């Protein structure tokens, strides 16, 4: 029995830790997405990009010998909830014999969840299970902290490209690493290396927030390394959606009896008088407003072509720009997006933000003297 799973940002790191501790055999799809084209060929034309990419991941994992697929998902108004079923149907008609283990966080009790995972947890002590889950959660927090550190250093580094070099080496090693200890060690050493990069502390970078659909905003392959592109232009990037926040929102908060509310989600209701517009739609709106209030210079909104909730969220940006005076640019990505045109738009946006900041500076200077 070998298990595989689709990529989603750095989710593979905690999953590796979990499977290693539980001694489950697994296959990690390649980070370069070698089955990307094949995934697209099997997908419906108007499915959103994450669907096509994750299908490619599964094909990759199956080729590496996996016969079980672990899939997260939820119900609701976004197509993500139906990914697993359609993937299953497509894989079946393409002639692959695999078992889907579908974890539906919004529709399942804890007992049902454990029931589905039984083939993997059988014969393993509870202590080991708890240790596995806790280590995985700890790893995801560490991995997200590492990307945060990288984002802070990347825009301030004196030698351009240093941070990306460290992160690239880290990604190459982490995919081969085995066991909690080694992975922890790798994260620590990457952190150390990042901290030793000489930085210009005087430099005042522009601050840009990335909001939008979670898969495109956190996966560097999908968003064509937007974070490192922005960082190399001297922009401090804040990504409000991370795997750890996703795990906390959909896993931990669901288990706890308390009803904790997401701040950005609540804020989004300022413009949308409803509880849900599907996916992370309301969080997108809320995060854009919060970024403006926190004094960010700009917001980049990104989503895959045909994403339902984000199209609704996008309508509110004209209003947010007027009301809060923050520039927002929307980047829509699909499998045909050309990298050059995409980067030109990012560069133009950053240039505009820089000019805007200088004009404002001149204005305050004139008023002061």
Please state the closest distance from residue 312 (CB atom) to another protein, in A: 4
The CA distance from 49 to 201, in Å, is 39
Q: How far is the CB of 158 from another protein (least distance, A)?
A: 41
Query: Which residues lie below 8 Å from residue 56, measured CB to CB, with a gap of 6+?
Result: 29, 33, 35, 36, 37, 38, 39, 40
How far apart, in Å, are the Cα atoms of 16 and each of 64, 102, 142?
16, 18, 14
- Pick out residues in 84-113 that bind another protein (CB under 8 A): 85-86, 89-90, 93, 107
Compare residues 18 and 78 and give the one whose CB is closer to another protein.
Answer: 78
Between residues 85 and 347, which has the closer beta carbon with respect to another protein? Answer: 85
Cβ 316 to another protein shortest distance, Å? 6
Nearer to another protein, 244 or 302 (CB): 302
Select from 309, 308, 303 the least CA-distant residue to 330.
Answer: 303
Interface with another protein (CB under 8 A), residue total 43
Q: In terms of CB distance, is 272 or 342 closer to another protein?
A: 272
Q: Which helix (H) or strand (E) holds 102?
A: strand 99-104
Nearer of residues 323 and 358 to another protein, judged by Cβ: 323
The nearest distance, CB 88 to another protein, in angstroms, is 8
The helix (run of H) or strand (run of E) holding residue 73 is: strand 68-73
Task: Give Cα separations from 151 to 223, 229, 283 (angstroms).
Answer: 15, 11, 22
With CB under 8 A as the contact rule, the residue among 39, 205, 278, 286 that binds another protein is 278
User: 248-287 b/e with 16+ CB inside 10 Å = b?
Assistant: bbebeeeeeeeeeebebbebbeebbeeeebbbbbbbbbbb
Closest CA to 357 of 292, 291, 296: 296
x-or-dash string of contact with another protein, 242-271, rule CB under 8 A: -----------------------------x
* 8 A C-beta contact, residue 240 and residue 64: no
Residue nearer to another protein on the CB measure, 29 or 281: 281
Q: At closest approach, how far in Å is the CB of 304 from another protein?
A: 10
Q: Which of 63, 276, 335, 354 binds another protein (CB under 8 A)?
A: 276
Q: Which stretch binds another protein (CB under 8 A): 22-30, 40-48, 164-172, 345-353?
A: 40-48
Among 34, 38, 182, 272, binds another protein (CB under 8 A): 272
User: Residue from 25, 37, 44, 351 that binds another protein (CB under 8 A)?
Assistant: 44
CB nearer to another protein: give 51 or 120.
51
How many Å apart are CA 284 and CA 209, to the nearest integer? Answer: 11
Task: State the binding string over 281-320 for another protein (x if CB under 8 A, else -).
Answer: x-----------------------xxxxx-xxxxxx-xx-
In whole angstroms, how close is the CB of 230 to another protein at the nearest point?
A: 23
Per CB under 8 A, 344 contacts another protein: no
Residues 6+ apart with CB under 8 A from 299: 208, 209, 210, 211, 287, 288, 291, 292, 326, 327, 328, 329
Residue 92, helix vs strand vs coil: helix
Q: How far apart are CA 153 and CA 41, in angstroms?
A: 39
Which CB atom, from 157 or from 213, has the smaller least distance to another protein? 213
Q: Is the dihedral of CA 197, 300, 5, 15 positive or negative?
A: positive
Binding site for another protein (CB under 8 A): 44-48, 75-79, 81-82, 85-86, 89-90, 93, 107, 271-279, 281, 305-309, 311-316, 318-319, 330, 332
């Amino acid at each position: 029995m070998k298990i595989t799973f689709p990529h989603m940002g750095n989710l593979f790191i905690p999953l590796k830790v979990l499977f290693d501790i539980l001694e489950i055999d697994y296959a990690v799809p390649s980070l370069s997405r070698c089955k990307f084209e094949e995934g697209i060929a099997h997908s419906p034309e108007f499915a959103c990009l994450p669907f096509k990419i994750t299908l490619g991941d599964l094909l990759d994992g199956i080729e590496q010998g996996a016969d079980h697929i672990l899939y997260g998902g939820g119900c609701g108004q976004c197509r993500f909830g139906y990914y697993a079923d359609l993937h299953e149907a497509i894989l079946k008609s393409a002639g692959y014999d695999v078992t889907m283990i579908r974890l539906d966080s919004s529709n399942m009790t804890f007992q049902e969840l454990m029931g589905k995972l039984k083939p993997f947890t059988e014969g393993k002590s509870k202590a080991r299970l708890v240790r596995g889950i806790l280590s995985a959660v700890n790893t995801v927090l560490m991995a997200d902290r590492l990307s945060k550190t990288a984002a802070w250093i990347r825009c301030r580094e004196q030698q351009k490209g240093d941070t990306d070099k460290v992160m690239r080496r880290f990604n190459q090693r982490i995919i081969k690493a085995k066991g909690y200890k080694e992975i922890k060690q790798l994260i620590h050493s990457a952190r150390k290396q990042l901290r030793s990069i000489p930085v210009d502390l005087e430099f005042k970078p522009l601050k840009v927030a990335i909001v939008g659909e979670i898969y495109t905003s956190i996966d560097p392959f999908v968003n064509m390394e937007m974070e490192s592109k922005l960082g190399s232009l001297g922009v401090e990037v804040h990504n409000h959606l991370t795997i750890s926040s996703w795990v906390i929102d959909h896993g931990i908060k669901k288990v706890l009896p308390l009803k904790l509310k997401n701040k950005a989600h609540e804020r989004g209701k300022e413009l949308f008088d409803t509880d849900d517009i599907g996916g992370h739609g309301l969080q997108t709106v809320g995060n854009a407003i919060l970024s403006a209030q926190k004094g960010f210079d700009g917001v980049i909104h990104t989503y895959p072509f045909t994403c339902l909730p984000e199209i609704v969220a996008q309508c509110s940006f004209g209003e947010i720009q007027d009301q809060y005076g923050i520039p927002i640019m929307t980047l829509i990505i699909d499998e045909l997006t050309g990298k050059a045109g995409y980067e030109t738009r990012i560069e133009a946006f950053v240039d505009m933000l820089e000019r805007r900041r200088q004009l404002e500076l001149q204005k305050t200077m004139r008023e002061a003297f």
